[in-house]
Amino acid sequence: MSTDGAQTPIADQTGEATTRTLHIWRGDLTDGGLVEFEVETAPGMVVLDAVLEVQRSQAPDLAVRWNCKAAKCGSCSAEVNGRPSLMCKTRLDHLPEGEPITVEPLHAFPVIRDLVTDVSWNYEVNKKIAPFTPKPDADWLIGQEDADRMSEFRKCIECFMCQDVCHILRNHRMHDRYFGPRFLIRLASLEMHPLDDLDRIDQISGEAGIALCNITKCCTEVCPEGIHITDNAIIPLKERVVDRRFDPLFRLLHRRPR
């Protein structure tokens, strides 16, 4: 008794199968370049489908990182036609027809091999951010507006594409002076938590390096979750930093330092 029957999709009856050309970056830290592959396409196919088909049938040692294939885990970030994209969410038929599709690893991090990069720096940055620390007298009543504000930042799936596209990291390689958009929104979600007891402004203006951001909004443009990184996190945080600088009373009366 087959259960495949209920779900086996019927392909669009659009005629003969078409193929697309992929230029996939292959190599490691020492050397690499684009390699051409042809794949047969199916309706609604995404870039990850095509890459996995290449892996299955033509290049069994092609290195690619992926897991959920549902745009929820943020593993399969790559640069598709030069733009940071989740491969699992990028449909082939949304890319210019008749042109090869280039697939490259993220540029802001060291490549391990082929499409896989070493993103461990992000995990090190995350460790520097003190965890949520509730006020001792918290009543645990939170309004929906506060939940919505924090939730926007907590939607982040850690695909690190905002880090990839940020010129401070990508071009200036200032990984030692700037946390990057991903961790500024993490700091924003904590700083805007009505029950968090820590003063995070010193870290935001200090080692997180928020002043380095000059609001080009590249991060917002590539965010697959549509988080308004610049407008809703970075700019308000910059304002809080500035407020602090000109209001010495605030320092005395506000929350205890971390």
Partner 1 sequence: MSAERHEYDVIVLGTGGSGLRAAIAAAEAGARTAVVCKCLLGKAHTVMAEGGVAASLGNVDPADGWETHFQDTMFGGKYLNNWRMAELHAREAPDRVQELERWGAVFDRTPERKMSQRAFGGHTYRRLVHIGDRTGLELIRTLQDKAVHSGIDVFMETIVTRLVKDGDRVTGMFGYHYATGAQVAFACRSLVLATGGGGRIWRVTSNSQDCTADGHALAYEAGADMVDMEFVQFHPTGMVWPPGVAGLLVTEAVRGEGGILRNSEGERFMERYDPKRMELSTRDVVARSIYTEVKEGRGSPHGGVFLDVSHLDPAYVKMRLPSMYDQFYELAGVDITKGPMEIGPTCHYFMGGIRVDAETGQTIVPGLFATGECSGGMNGANRLGGNSLSDLLVFGRRAGTSAAQAASDAPAPRLPEAELALAAAELGGFLTGDGLTGPAEDPYRLHRELQTVMGDGVGIFRDEAGLETAIGRLHELEARAANLRAPSARLDYNPGWRLCREVRNMITVSLQIARAALMRAESRGAHSRLDHPRYDDYWSEHNILICGDGGEMTLEARPVVTSDELTELVEARQEAERV
- Minimum distance between the CB of residue 21 and partner 1, rounded to whole angstroms? 18
* CB 184 within 8 Å of CB 223: no
Q: DSSP 3-state assignment of 107?
A: coil
d(CA 103, CA 82): 8
Please name which of 199, 189, 176 lies closest in space to residue 234, comparing C-alpha atoms.
Answer: 189
For partner 1, the closer of residues 157 and 204 by Cβ is 157
Phi, psi of 123 (to 5 degrees): -70, -30
Non-local (6+) Cβ contacts of 255 within 8 A are 197, 198, 199
For partner 1, the closer of residues 94 and 251 by Cβ is 94
- Minimum distance between the CB of residue 146 and partner 1, rounded to whole angstroms? 8
For partner 1, the closer of residues 156 and 168 by Cβ is 156
d(CA 161, CA 180): 10
- Minimum distance between the CB of residue 127 and partner 1, rounded to whole angstroms? 5
Q: Which residues bind partner 1 (CB under 8 A)?
A: 1-11, 42-46, 49, 55-56, 60-75, 89, 91, 112-114, 116, 119, 123, 126-127, 130-132, 134, 140-144, 147, 150-151, 154-158, 189-190, 193, 226
- Side-chain-side CA neighbours of 224 within 13 Å: the count stands at 24
- Minimum distance between the CB of residue 84 and partner 1, rounded to whole angstroms? 16
For partner 1, the closer of residues 48 and 168 by Cβ is 48
Crossing angle (nearest 10°) for helices 181-191 and 120-127? 30
* CB 197 within 8 Å of CB 131: no
- Minimum distance between the CB of residue 67 and partner 1, rounded to whole angstroms? 5
For partner 1, the closer of residues 168 and 222 by Cβ is 222
Q: DSSP 3-state assignment of 35?
A: strand
Please name which of 197, 204, 211 lies closest in space to residue 258, comparing C-alpha atoms.
Answer: 197
Q: Record the tokens describing residue 186, joined without a space.
A: 């993490």
Non-local (6+) Cβ contacts of 245 within 8 A are none
For partner 1, the closer of residues 55 and 203 by Cβ is 55
For partner 1, the closer of residues 8 and 214 by Cβ is 8
Phi, psi of 20 (to 5 degrees): -125, 150
